[in-house]
A = this chain, B = another copy of it.
């Protein structure tokens, strides 16, 4: 377990329950929770990157214990679900690559959601979400999520208000049901500024290895920035609960974003107090059985 930094960051990033959210009041370049020495030092970026590497090893071990418990049948359905939301260029992909990428890909269950398709719009908005939930023992990552149904659906009027308005309550009920089923739900909004989005879009237009990430529709969506911020503010405010709080991670600085996300994950893992499960079989008996059959080696191999 990394001892490098023990101040919990989740409390610093958590949105107040039952209160309005003012995103414009949250500095997208802030670094809440970063140790003071790291903040003032000249090398805080490389320091944070190294911290993320160390935390990654912790996360991989925690993930293995979570998975092991599920395999051993002692996990009581526990699993993590990281719900990642952000404006375009907010850094969801990069955060997944660097933070979830430190874990074992066999234990990750990553699903991405865009604006609902025609087929998806013909179903209840949680239909596609339920199909994508991680099994017990896994770390699920939703790259966008059910929140799209009160974000892009609202801003682009993909459904009328009488359809999307009741969804805040439905989302709260849904997440509560997940938690009853053993889910740890970690909701994170990666918060970038309007200026930072422009810089990142420009770099996608400048760097030939990034052209594929650019879509002309991104500029159209950017024109609706205030509408999106308002939709986010309402979603975060209406769907922040004690059991499934929202966290706002200032994300203009990628190294801080990754550092904060790795800490958030680790703090939630630690709370589960995981351990490798004990054997559910007689170790001595199995060892004897394994060695007993082996005196003569395998019978001759019959090549087909």
Contacts and interface: CB of A to CB of B under 8 A. Distances in A.
A303 B20 contact: yes
A50 interface: no
Given A108-B105, A286-B205, A237 B20 contact: no
Contact of A194 (B72, B211, B234, B297): B297
A268 interface: no
Interface residues of A, number: 67
B106 A216 contact: no
A194 B290 CA distance: 12
Given A71-B212, A212-B72, A219 B299 contact: no
A302 B299 CA distance: 76
Given A212-B71, A276-B212, A277-B212, A97 B93 contact: no
A24 B211 contact: no
Given A230-B303, A299-B226, A304-B237, A205 B287 contact: yes
A45 interface: no
Given A110-B106, A222-B293, A286 B214 contact: yes
A68 B230 contact: no
A160 interface: no
Given A105-B141, A201-B290, A219-B290, 20 more contacts: A20-B303, A24-B301, A68-B213, A96-B106, A100-B105, A101-B104, A101-B105, A105-B105, A105-B110, A194-B297, A198-B291, A202-B287, A208-B276, A211-B277, A211-B283, A212-B276, A214-B281, A216-B286, A229-B303, A234-B304
